[in-house]
Amino acid sequence: MVALVVRTLLVVGGSGFLGSHVVRAARESGWRVHATSTSGRPAGDVPWHRLDLRDCTAVTRVLDAVAPDAVVNAGAALRGGAEADRTVNADGAVRLATALTAGPARLVHVSTDCVHGGREEPYLDDEPPTPVAWSYAEAKAAAEEAILALGSDAVVVRPAPVLGEPGGDRGPHEHFDASYFTDMVRMPVVVTDLAAILVELAETAHRGTMHAAGPQEVDRWRLARAIARQAGADPEEVRATSLASSGLARPGVLRLDTARARTLRTRLRAVGEILPLE
């Protein structure tokens, strides 16, 4: 009788919005899961470890303790400005990837579609980063380039804005008590679809960069109105504005070719399948 081999997956940022869904998807796929958190909040009923990616000793300690077969880095600093972007989203991500080169573990690194600067035609999966002058995008782009330059067993996933399932937790992009851009266009991805793809990639041989986006584009104002309507709020209270008039350095139109993601088992649903749009 052949014994089943249970592989171990470490989810960095496992108590966050995306990371908690990765933990759940990995457990459902049969992985033995460990998760990390900076807040001390465990990610469900799994072993967890406190980890700050700025701490080289802590990175080594956690990897030695878990001995993972694969790592999904879903951790990121969304607040803290340029300093957090540099120390966590760039340097911290590269520190983790470099530490993994000492062993056989595979890395699935979560980046962002905002490594692209924005244009009308779709970006291909393997196009190099061209970020606008925004510290978050620049840090994510720097991390991508450094991780891929290591030549290790790694794949970098560039997700579009992440949407929660109806009735579930909202993603960081899903609030409507503000003004929203009518000229900022994205191709949102459903969080459970993205989590499933990240887990699937942990056991494949894909390398390089890959987009993860739904097949339907929508501007941020229409999206916010749809979220408000679904939440029982008044969509007429969602204010419209333009990126062009804001003075912010952010990508405007980001259309992503998802040819590589379409080769995977997981289907990326359109935003209109879970959220009725006007």
C-alpha gyration radius of the chain: 18
Instruction: Specify the pLDDT at position 171.
Output: 58
Instruction: Specify the pLDDT at position 167.
Output: 53
Instruction: Specify the pLDDT at position 172.
Output: 57
| Count of beta carbons in the 10 Å neighbourhood of residue 70 | 23
Instruction: Specify the pLDDT at position 81.
Output: 87
Q: What is the DSSP string of the chain?
A: -PPPPPPEEEEETTTSHHHHHHHHHHHHTT-EEEEEESSS---SSS-EEE--TT-HHHHHHHHHHH--SEEEE-----SSHHHHIIIIIIIIHHHHHHHHTTSS-EEEEE--GGGS---SSPBPTTPPP---S-HHHHHHHHHHHHHHHTTSSEEEEEE--EEPPTTSPPPTT---SSEEESS-EE--EEHHHHHHHHHHHTTS---EEEEE--S--EEHHHHHHHHHHHTTS-GGGSEEE-HHHH-----SB--B--TTGGGSSS----GGGTS---
Beta strands 239-241 and 179-181: pairing type?
parallel
* pTM (two decimals): 0.94
Sequence-distant (≥ 6) Cβ neighbours of residue 258 within 8 angstroms? 125, 211, 212, 213, 215, 268
Instruction: Specify the pLDDT at position 256.
Output: 99
Instruction: Specify the pLDDT at position 1.
Output: 46
* CA separation for the pair 38, 52 (Å, rounded): 6
* CA separation for the pair 78, 228 (Å, rounded): 23
Digit-by-digit pLDDT tens for the chain (278 residues) are: 445 678 999 999 999 999 999 999 999 999 999 999 987 666 668 999 999 999 999 999 999 999 999 999 999 887 788 988 899 999 999 999 999 999 999 999 999 999 999 999 999 999 999 999 999 999 999 999 999 999 999 999 999 999 987 655 555 555 556 799 999 999 999 999 999 999 999 999 999 999 999 999 999 999 999 999 988 889 999 999 999 999 999 999 999 999 999 999 999 999 999 998 97
* CA separation for the pair 176, 66 (Å, rounded): 40
Please return the burial class of 32, using the count of CB atoms within 10 Å of its CB with bins 0-12, 13-18 and 19+: middle
Residue carrying structure tokens 């990616």: 53
CATH 3.30.590.10 for the 8-168+189-215+255-272 domain, yes or no: no
